[in-house]
Amino acid sequence: MFTYAANKKTALKSFIEFSNGLTAHPKYPLEIFIETSNVCNLRCAMCGEFSALAKTKRDSSHRGFIPFSYIEALDEYLKYALIVHVFGFGETTIHPQFIDILKFLFQYEVYIDFFTNGTRLDDKLCRFLVENKIGKITVSTSFTNKEHYENMYIGASFEKVIRSLKTLSIYKKEFGSEFPVVEINSLAFTEHVNSLPGFVKLMASCGVNVIHLKSLTGYNDIPEIHNHIAVYRKSIEGKIIAEAKKIAIQNGITLATNTFETACHVSDEGDEDAVKRLVTNRIKVNRFPKENNENDNKAVPISDLKQIANTIIKQDMCLSETPLKILHPIPPGSIRDDASLFNHYKISKRMDAKESEYCMEPFKTVYVTTKGLIYPCCFGHNFKCMPFGTVGQKDDAVAWDTNPFRIVRNNILDNNYPFQYCGACLKVKSFPRNHFLPLKANLYGKWYEAKHQAPFEDILVASMRSMDTNSDIIKNFHPPETLKTIFDLENQMSLAKGICRNQSTGDCYFYKWPKILLLLKNIFSFENEHLWGRFKKSITINLQEPSGSSSVTLQTDLITDQNDVFEVLFTTCSAKGAHETKKKTILLQHGLNSLVFHLHQADLSKPIQIIPCLYAARINIRKLVIEKWSE
């Protein structure tokens, strides 16, 4: 009955292996974004895509709905994915086959969620969504009153959206279902933040589960919005948020404000210039040309926005549309060397990054546009960027494993980013600070059991709770500085180099460290007693100080169990006369040179089988090496 549960578990295990530094990248994407629509029925004033305040009309030649056949072509991805986000840069519910798309996706046992403006959530659709236990619906709305809402969300009805939320709540109670989870995506307009406690009360009365307060991004060609961008000051907005959170707790809902507080925090609250600088940094340069505007330096009240928009539409109706060139992916096999791909994707070092700010999206996500183009995430998708592949063609079913994905992933591990994709996102820090996969896996397991009346796999989901953060995952791919010198990867570990290079495709893994760990872990196992014995004997002879002193000679007769050889090396290097880093390096260099020599000389009856135990490898290798040699 449950066709794809095993596939989902395989995909999760693959990401766990990657997160522990044991594989170059996960085998499968865990999340898929399907841009069902990139057209919208609203013209929200703050929207970079569809704003009625934009002075230049947007090109509509690329707008439309994704063909159903493109979604069918995602079969190989859907078998392994846990979560499918059925939305993109448009309103998903206006797709003429929206319900048919959802029905098709049901068979893959995926957790489905989507963003919507809520204007099309009529009684029939609300019932369908609850009856079929859609995972999550996020409704974009802000403000507590009709005037502010309808002047910002131009084309929407305040009463209709409130009614839609209440209808979902009614059907959830009728079916006794906690799904779909209903969340609110609200934006940090100054006026909205000031009335946040009242907004929480309103949403609680509509039966929502979670309210997100997100930082507001402005655009250079929509200056009327700039003065409405809220900042976070602990003594002002902090007090308002604290009051709103008390109300949320009283009503049993969650109010999440961390994104706003982090991105819009003003440390010096008395410095007006600091506030202005932060607001300026929240403004993106849109891809559309900016024209001179009488409202550039004027505070425009929200109540005037719709009227201004109507004037702009009348004035600009006859203007020609700005042409938009859509790039196409590099043909498979046409570029084989890394340098050419570097040029195509504009990869360069990120200089302003903090240690904790690494992006994991290309390691777990694919984004599919209405045109069938594949990108590494929803944040970096724009039409100036060359896609990584397409759907609907035979060779593109494995886009996840093609060079573009590999090159970008490998470079992110070294803090290099393709700035054509990531530049704007990095500037305003809108990328996720964490992969949140433990939370998402737990959510999937909970939904799976509710949907299919069968548990997913508690042990697997539980094992993800201690999964590393983005920063820790990155560290797993980089040896400590001391060991970088010891191993001298390019010149000394020739065997490891061979393992890390695919000679048939020319693909070269940039990061050999995980492969070396796997190799050493396998060699240091009693499962290969012949090689183990030869190494112990050889290292006894070779691991000593250059002077020939026997004071630190390894005592092999003390090795009576499966202790990792690294433990013995550390003990030896702590012996009298070998405390200095230089001597430690020389000692270990002797041992590792001997290891490499005997690996080449060993007469193995069969290839070394690298079957890592995820947590044993982490305990026996990563702990001993990184913790003891990181000082």
- Greater model confidence, 358 or 554: 358
Chain centroid, CA 308 distance in Å: 38
- Claim: this prediction has a pTM higher than 0.75: no
pLDDT of 508-545, one tens digit each?
Answer: 333 344 444 444 444 444 344 554 444 444 444 433 33
The pLDDT of residue 310 is 85
Q: Are strands 507-508 and 501-502 parallel, antiparallel or unpaired?
A: antiparallel
CA 571 from chain center: how many Å? 41
Q: Which pLDDT score is estimated for 284? A: 60
Residue 517 counted as domain residue: yes
What number of H helices and E strands is found in the chain?
27, 16
Kindly give the interhelix angle for 196-205 and 237-250, rounded to the nearest 10 degrees: 20
Per the prediction, the chain carries an average pLDDT of 72
Q: Over the stretch 496-518, which tens digit does the pLDDT of each residue have?
A: 334 333 444 333 333 344 444 44
- Give the per-residue pLDDT at 322: 40
- Is residue 508 classed as helix, strand or coil in its secondary structure? strand
On the question of pLDDT at 325 being above 50, the answer is: no
User: Does 315 fall in a domain?
Assistant: no
pLDDT in tens, 552-611: 333 333 333 333 444 444 444 444 344 444 444 444 444 444 444 433 443 333 323 222
> What pLDDT score was predicted for residue 463?
66
104-118, 218-232, 597-611: which has the highest mean pLDDT? 104-118
Distances (CA, A) of 236 to 190, 276, 322, 446: 12, 16, 42, 38
The tokens for 462 are: 């539980």
Lowest mean pLDDT among 279-293, 340-354, 486-500: 486-500
CB contact burial 66-96 (16+ within 10 A = b; e otherwise):
beeebbebbeebbbbbbbbbbbbbbbbbbbe
CA distances from 99 to 104, 160, 167, 171, 361 (A): 9, 21, 18, 18, 28
Q: What integer pLDDT is reported at residue 391 of this predicted model?
A: 84
Q: Which long-range contacts (CB under 8 A, 24 or more apart) does 462-465 make?
A: 463/16, 464/12, 464/16, 464/437, 464/438, 465/438
Q: Decide if 370 is inside a domain.
A: no
Tokens matching residue 219: 């655009």
Summarize the confidence of residues 372-395 as an average pLDDT: 72
Asked whether residue 600 is domain-assigned, the answer is yes
Closest CA to 364 of 470, 282, 449: 470
Sequence-ordered list of residues with C-beta below 8 angstroms from that of 446, at least 6 positions apart, any chain: none
Per-residue pLDDT, 393: 55
pLDDT for residue 161: 97
Note whether residue 497 is domain-resident: yes
Residue at 607 is within a domain: yes
Residue 266, domain member (yes or no): no
Domain count, the chain: 1
Quick check: 232 pLDDT over 80?
Answer: yes
Domain that holds residue 615: 478-629
Write the DSSP string, 5-35. Answer: HHHHHHHHHHHHHHHTTSSSS-SS-SEEEE-
Q: Tell whether the model's pLDDT for residue 231 goes beyond 50.
A: yes
Specify if 200 maps to a domain. Answer: no
